[in-house]
Amino acid sequence: METPQLYLHVSIPEQKLSLIEHGGIVKSFPVSTAKNGPGEQMGSGCTPRGWHVIRAKIGANAPDNAVFIGRRHTGESYSADLAARFPERDWILTRILWLGGLEPGFNRYHEVDTAWRYIYIHGSPDHGVTGQPQSQGCIRMKTPDLLELFDLVKVGMRVKIVA
């Protein structure tokens, strides 16, 4: 697949997401990817590799730290009190960039489909982004970083995830 002029590059080993333009890094952010490592299989809890596309931008008008479940704002805002009441939640906060795979048989269609695995780049409490893999497959970012990135990307932008 040809490398686009502007795209996101996610490095699983470095736990870093970079905005790349004309081959150079414009901006980089720390992330946390899957604690189960890289992989494409449905139900694996792994972060899928390869070329993806941002298929949807969700939450553009939501407040900072808005809580999302099923890609819908619950009306809640993340706080220590809310976290204490729901310690089992995998917090999806602020904004969502929903990814879709572009490589048939590898990260698209059937049991390896990134979109139907609901793999996102999404906001997380700061303790969820430590530079260590700890998500359930998604790419977690700190709220201020995600707010900045959200305004820089468009639906249809390519994302390359490497291990």
Contacts of residue 51, defined as CB under 8 A and 6 or more positions apart, other chains included, come to 1, 101, 102, 103, 107, 158, 159, 160
Does residue 1 form part of some domain? no
Looking at residue 33, its pLDDT comes to 98
Does residue 61 form part of some domain? yes
Does residue 90 form part of some domain? yes
Closest CA to 11 of 40, 36, 31, 35: 31
C-alpha to C-alpha distance for 138 and 34, rounded to whole angstroms? 6
Does residue 91 form part of some domain? yes
C-alpha to C-alpha distance for 59 and 69, rounded to whole angstroms? 12
Domain encompassing residue 119: 6-162
CATH number at residue 57: 2.40.440.10
Tens-binned pLDDT, residue by residue, of the chain (163 aa): 789 999 999 999 999 999 999 999 999 999 999 999 999 999 999 999 999 999 999 999 999 999 999 999 999 999 999 999 999 899 999 999 999 999 999 999 999 999 999 999 999 998 889 889 999 999 999 999 999 999 999 999 999 999 9
Does residue 115 form part of some domain? yes
C-alpha to C-alpha distance for 67 and 124, rounded to whole angstroms? 9
State the DSSP code for 128.
G
Closest CA to 98 of 125, 78, 116, 75: 116
Q: How many domains does the chain have?
A: 1
Q: What one-letter code names the amino acid at 114? A: T
